[in-house]
Amino acid sequence: GHYVLEVCHTGHPSHQLELAPDFRSGRLYLQPADPLAGEALSTLLRIAFSQVLLLHQGVSLHASAVVLNGQ
């Protein structure tokens, strides 16, 4: 029993993070040739971190913003 997180953008390869049930170890399957690999890594790590916090009765807050044409 492992947890598997997967991020896949349309037209791009799949990136996965496999985590042990206690979140103490994991294995990352990242496609470095994908121009969105950095974004996928950031997303996978943020999700994993949030899950670990739940084990310790913590709370994770995430904020983001989108800017288009300076607005």
49-59 pLDDT, tens digit each: 888 888 888 88
In this prediction, residue 6 has a pLDDT band, given cuts at 50, 70 and 90, of very high
User: What is the C-alpha to C-alpha distance for residues 62 and 43, in angstroms, rounded to an integer?
Assistant: 11
| 40 CB burial (10 A radius; 0-12, 13-18, 19+) | buried
Sheet hosting strand 15-19, strand order edge to edge: 3-7, 15-19, 26-29
Q: Model's pTM, two decimal places?
A: 0.75
Write down the residue that tokens 């997180």 correspond to: 5
- The domain ranges of the chain are 3-55
Give the 3-state secondary structure of residue 33: coil
